Amino acid sequence: MSTTSTTSTPGTSAGAVVGLDELPLRDELRGKSPYGAPQLDVPVRLNTNENPYPLPDALVARIAERVAEAARGLNRYPDRDAVELRTRLAHYLSDTAGHRVGREQVWAANGSNEVLQQLLQAFGGPGRTALGFDPSYSMHALLARGTGTGWISGPRNEDFTIDVEAARAAIAEHRPEVVFICSPNNPTGTAVSEETVLALYEAAQAARSGPDEHGALVVVDEAYGEFSHRPSLLPLIEGRPALVLSRTMSKAFGAAGLRLGYLAAAPAVVDAVQLVRLPYHLSAVTQATALAALEHTDTLLGYVEQLKTERDRLVSELRSLGCRVTESDANFVQFGHFGDAAGSHAVWEALLAHGVLVRDNGVPGWLRVSAGTPEENDAFLGAVRAVTKELKEKSD
């Protein structure tokens, strides 16, 4: 991250280089780097968990029709409450996740990151804390920091599952206002059981049960839910007003460039995030594109099934090559073990030299590869074989 800028300040000449240290940046942001994965021009890019299949021609044509229709009204603000979109998202969840929800229980924003940010703006903030279980999606902590919310890292077992008793103890000790549970977990791919979610929800409510307190908000981040071997955790929101499930159209819908995320929860949670959302935050073009994609759900979920098959093949093939692999319910696989952080980075560089980009995501000794097309996965596995042979020859 560059820490310089061409911003001029009083007492300096125009165009003088000013470092961040000379700006009134918030203390908790000093020394930090922005979120992001390397974007390198290599033959095979499997580092950002994108859906590798382009949108089908019929959907592209439908998007063009929907956007053209929306363009006629771009002189007006979009539907502030995205009523049609939320209604269609509610139908999608009801049809695919095993629990019926209504429009009043669904909210949408510019990517699931904005959904999570709005939740932290409404329920976190200065003097409040959020707790998650690392390693997990690093944006949870970054969003907490960006909203002035304290961050607490909770425990995991060696196999990357959540240690329920240790998690209960951490919740009881720190009494957070927000608890994040990522299932399937990024970067490990680990799914969280219904029993674990219920245990942590109960612990989060009990920890904040004083006369002037409300129970903690528990957010289940299900960005990769459609790829899981397990059913969605959506039915758990029934009768639990402080439980929220978040989703995205970036992964299963193959629409990472759309930036559309959504949540399902009690209607009161939807009311709460509307207190902090920016006016007209979802553009008419975004809403039109998302609605077109929802018309092609069956086709897009067919691609998901193909990716699940490829994901399972990667798990099997990597194990046959002698790698350790974490059980995955996502569209990616965590594999290793390469000793320490230096070892995993060396393997990352070696794979890159073979034209394959995977993710070195900061879990010492482990790397993460996204499931790609069969051809991309073949290229990745070929690179692993070559690198394994090279490392063996070096050790000999």
pLDDT in tens, 326-356: 999 999 999 999 999 999 999 999 999 999 9
State residue 32's pLDDT score: 78
State residue 2's pLDDT score: 40
CATH (one of 3.40.1360.10, 1.10.1660.10, 3.40.50.2300, 3.40.640.10) for 72-295 = 3.40.640.10
What average pLDDT does the structure give for the chain?
Answer: 93
* Structural domain 25-56+299-395, CATH architecture: Alpha-Beta Complex (3.90)
State residue 11's pLDDT score: 52
State residue 12's pLDDT score: 53
State residue 4's pLDDT score: 42
Q: What are phi and psi of 162, to 5 degrees?
A: -80, 130
pTM to 2 decimal places = 0.91
First to last CA, the chain: 39
C-alpha distance from residue 52 to each of 96, 115, 336 (Å): 22, 24, 23
User: What pairing do the DSSP bridges indicate for beta strands 332-336 and 366-370?
Assistant: antiparallel
Whether 201 and 242 have beta carbons less than 8 Å apart is answered as yes
Q: pLDDT tens digits for 172-190?
A: 999 999 999 999 999 999 9
Q: How far apart are alpha carbons 198 and 181 in whole angstroms? A: 11
12 token code pair: 């300096």
Q: Map out the domains of the chain as residue ranges.
A: 25-56+299-395, 72-295
State residue 391's pLDDT score: 81
Whether 310 and 46 have beta carbons less than 8 Å apart is answered as no
Q: How far apart are alpha carbons 92 and 297 in whole angstroms? A: 8
**Hey, what amino acid is at 145?**
R
Question: Which residues in the chain show pLDDT less than 50?
Answer: 1-9
